Amino acid sequence: MHGSIITDMQVFNDNYVPPTLIVRADEAREIIWRISNKVIKSGNLTDITMIYGQIGRVGIGKTTLAKYAAIKLSEELKEKGIRLRYAFVNAYGAPTLIDILSSIVGALGLRVPVRGASFVETMKSIADYLMVKDEYLLVILDEFQGILLSNKISPDDLYRLLRVYEEIPAGDGINRIGYILVANDVRALAYIREKIPQVESQIDFMLHLRAYSSYDLYKILEQRAELGLAPGSYSHYIIEMIADRYGEDRGGEGSARKAIKALQRAAERAEMRGDNSISEEDVRYALAQDSYAYIDIRMLKALDKHMLLVLYAVARATSERGGWIPTSLVRSEYEEVSSLFGEKPRKHTQFYEYISTLSRLGLLEKGVEKGKMGSIRLSPEIPTDVLLEVLDHILIDKLGEN
């Protein structure tokens, strides 16, 4: 029988926006509150909100936060009888001004020719449409940094786009177009200052997003699993393994995108095996796919044979019982493995030094939290069976040299 673990594939889609944003809920609330407050109190929408991330980090929810805020904002305003629509423009690949206007016109479902028309003509059509329909428009410009760096859009055009109503005063005196700019990192601000300095002071709200911690990722993965996987097909432990691997506080990239992909790959592997639940080994394989050369054979070959025997002991215990292994158990497993290979086990102090070195090399992890103290785990991105096979070969070679 084929396993049926993934119940909703869409949940693992890159563009999926969850029905509630558990992590970043406060940030979403603040964006929504600021804009809705303005629209309700003044009747105008001219806000520019900017979301930017920690330098060098992607998959940390910038786009998702912008989309989620726009969706919820539109729902909340609707309850108050105010119609707000949003247009999502992905500026990846340096679009021209016409490309951007086409996206906006397309999102509104407007039938006006963009190509061949001037900026003013198109913008006027949009503004008139909004006025007649009595609607507001929130434009999300994703990959905004790309627009700033591109020479396909002049600073003047960009300024006109962001400050529409300075060029085209609204027929009824109501401004109806706001923006959420999504930029990679803080450098976007320097580019704004350089290219469109007049806009800098008009940014109403700026939000800096940090990469996710393992706790954040745990929450995000748990929600995805509940939404897209069959009940009982995953454990708390496997979600924690993935969250630990990517959490920024654990030296990972803090990327929700990578964590979600790993969960999907693990689920797919379990399904392919015909199983109805995800095993620890499925997760190890899924994480290994995201690591460069997950087992560095040359490094292993350079290690002392007893260090390799300790690693072998951990791998064996992992394949037998999984999870975090108490050090005392690793010790007895090591003694057993040593005698199996005809070696006399080293003393306790030496054994602990091996554990420390192996953990420094990234092959093992030492438990630091409550409940895990004094326990050891094979690094999550190492598939146990592959490691055992590689170690078998290396150890036989090494011991044969004696």
Binding site for ligand ADP (CB under 6 A): 14, 16, 18, 21, 23-24, 53, 58-64, 220, 256-257, 260
Question: For ligand ADP, which is the closer residue by CB, 286 or 364?
Answer: 286
CB–CB of 135/122 below 8 Å? no
- Cα angle: 209, vertex 77, 66; to 5 degrees: 20
Question: For ligand ADP, which is the closer residue by CB, 72 or 160?
Answer: 72
Q: How far is the CB of 259 from ligand ADP (least distance, A)?
A: 8
Q: How far is the CB of 264 from ligand ADP (least distance, A)?
A: 10
**By beta-carbon distance, which residue lies closest to ligand ADP?**
61
Question: For ligand ADP, which is the closer residue by CB, 88 or 119?
Answer: 88
Question: For ligand ADP, which is the closer residue by CB, 59 or 322?
Answer: 59
Q: How far is the CB of 61 from ligand ADP (least distance, A)?
A: 3
Interatomic CA distance for residues 302 and 322, integer angstroms: 27
The residue assigned the tokens 């420390």 is 356
Q: How far is the CB of 6 from ligand ADP (least distance, A)?
A: 15
Question: For ligand ADP, which is the closer residue by CB, 14 or 226?
Answer: 14
DSSP state of 179: E
Strand 48-53 and strand 177-183: the pairing is parallel
CB–CB of 134/83 below 8 Å? yes
Q: How far is the CB of 57 from ligand ADP (least distance, A)?
A: 7
Q: How far is the CB of 345 from ligand ADP (least distance, A)?
A: 46
The residue assigned the tokens 């900017």 is 50
- Cα angle: 220, vertex 222, 226; to 5 degrees: 120
Q: Which residues contact 266 (CB under 8 A, 6 or more apart)?
A: 238, 242, 278, 282, 283, 285, 286
Question: For ligand ADP, which is the closer residue by CB, 208 or 301?
Answer: 208
